[in-house]
Amino acid sequence: MKKRLYTFFSAFIFLTLTAGCDDIVSDNYIILDTINSFEYQIDTETDNFSQTQRLPLQAILNEISGAEEVNLYNVTVKIKNIGQTSPETEITARLDLSRETSDEVLKLVDISDATLSQFENRQSIFLEDNNGITPNPEGVQAIQQIFKESPLPVIDLSIEGNVKRPTGAPQRVTFDFVITIYTQLSKND
């Protein structure tokens, strides 16, 4: 599938450039990029975990030369670095979104009874019932709206949940929960 997409986009760019439209491509182009990844390092001997990270969206956009507009493309979650933790350890969690300037907290997604091994690969939060991920329409709409604001706000992403260890598994549970925000950056040069 990736090979087909690569071939399609390569052919599109080649045809565009050979058709004399290179000025359109070079003057107004879009870059798919990750604006940031949040990595929550969970290390617990209890059944609960909770962490928050702050993302200054406008400050990040200001560091990108020539970027004029940013649009949200995707948000993914992944679990890595489980170490000695059993891959069959289950988590139930919620991912919340809030603004630095507001007390309002919106639930972005719920994760229900999902094993760590289900998140070896990135999973989009926008897909319904994707490996135990259930998006909250209000939260999804809110994060999409945030990326349309000017200037972009500072947001907090929080993860809170609990673990259920398999029988005989060690008490200590460690893993990194990674949230990646993908954007489209429009540039005019």
Predicted model pTM: 0.75
Tell me the pLDDT band of 127, cut-offs 50, 70 and 90. confident
Tell me: the pLDDT tens digits for 52-95? 999 888 887 777 766 677 778 888 999 999 989 999 999 999 99
CA distance 99 to 119: 27
Architecture label for domain 29-188: Sandwich (2.60)
pLDDT for 170-185, tens place per residue?
999 999 999 988 887 7
Counting DSSP H helices and E strands in the chain, the numbers are 4, 9
Q: CA-CA distance, 182 to 189, in Å (whole number)?
A: 22
Range in 10-14, 101-105, 123-127, 153-157 the model is least confident about: 10-14
What DSSP designation does 126 have? T
Residue 103, class by beta-carbon neighbours within 10 Å (0-12 exposed, 13-18 middle, 19+ buried)? Answer: exposed
| Integer Cα distance of 47 and 161 in angstroms | 8
